[in-house]
Amino acid sequence: MRIGRPSANRWCRRLGGWLSAVTLAASAAPMNEHVILLHGLCRSSTSMHRLERALTQAGYHVWNLDYPSRTNTITNLSEAVLAPALRDARSAGATRLHFVGHSLGGLLIRDYLARHPQPDTGRIVMLGPPNQGSEIVDRLGSWWLFRKINGPAGSELGTGADSGARRLGTPRVEIGIIAGNRSINWINSLLFLPGADDGKVSVERTRLEGMTDHLVLRTTHPLMMKNKTVIQQTLCFLRTGRFQR
């Protein structure tokens, strides 16, 4: 089948934009800039491997952390995971520390840096973070099976004013948030989540007062950290403090 000129031009522009963004990030990341990665709830550092490779190729020193996401509260997890990670990164020569977190990982970063401002903090990218909670937790959070699977931190992710997610502070640094608007969890999307969503969190509830930039992409919650466009935009924000439009 022959490809018409408009379609070919559109794909060329997309490819050109992606390559230029990666080239820009790769050429501008000095070796003393480190990036700390945190995976989401019920996941592991393996889920962040593709993003880790891209950041490493772009010249960053990357710390892809594993942590027991189902075992404790948001604040206790953030203390246990990030305090030693910061010490290790500085011992390894980091002079500027960036952070990228998927889902719950973004909230751990937000919580720790709001309570412990760091003078060497660079930029933060949050991928699908339930910054204002999720209606799924409102509906299912009291179920025994939900609490068993998701643990104390998962139970803190409701949308009420007294929920753990809503009570967290906001670090005074540049924060970029990427939300997804595609879902493979159609039951969640149909029954619990209003408006556009990624199957776990509505686009609107990813937003955070004081954020620097917000971007909505065609991606799902469980796979966004592997999405090429998400990775490209993460690199862009770490480099420039803005997403590419």
Phi, psi at 31, each rounded to 5°? -65, -20
Strands ordered across the beta sheet of 174-180: 61-65, 33-38, 96-102, 121-127, 174-180, 213-217
For 162-183, the DSSP string reads: TSHHHH----SSEEEEEEE---
For 5-240, which CATH superfamily applies?
Alpha/Beta hydrolase fold, catalytic domain (3.40.50.1820)
The domain segmentation of the chain, as residue ranges, is 5-240
pTM: 0.87
Query: Lowest-confidence range among 78-87, 161-170, 196-205?
Result: 161-170
Q: Are 172 and 116 in contact (CB under 8 A)?
A: no
- Distance (Å, rounded) from C-alpha 103 to C-alpha 114? 17
Q: Which residues pair with 83 in a beta bridge?
A: none
> Band of the pLDDT at 245, cuts 50, 70, 90?
confident
The pLDDT of residue 37 is above 50: yes
What integer is the mean pLDDT of 215-243? 98
Choose among 51, 25, 54, 53: nearest CA to 38. Answer: 51
For 139-184, write each residue's pLDDT tens digit: 999 999 999 999 999 999 999 988 999 999 999 999 999 999 999 9
The alpha helices in the chain, defined as continuous H runs, are: 5-27, 49-57, 74-91, 104-115, 135-140, 144-155, 164-167, 186-191, 228-240
Q: Across all residues in the chain, what is the average pLDDT?
A: 90
Other CB atoms within 10 Å distance of the CB of residue 191: 10
Give the three-class secondary structure for 28.
coil
The pLDDT of residue 1 is above 50: no
Residue 30 contacts by C-beta under 8 Å, 6 or more apart in sequence?
A: 59
The pLDDT of residue 64 is above 70: yes
What integer is the mean pLDDT of 61-90? 98
pLDDT of residue 190: 92
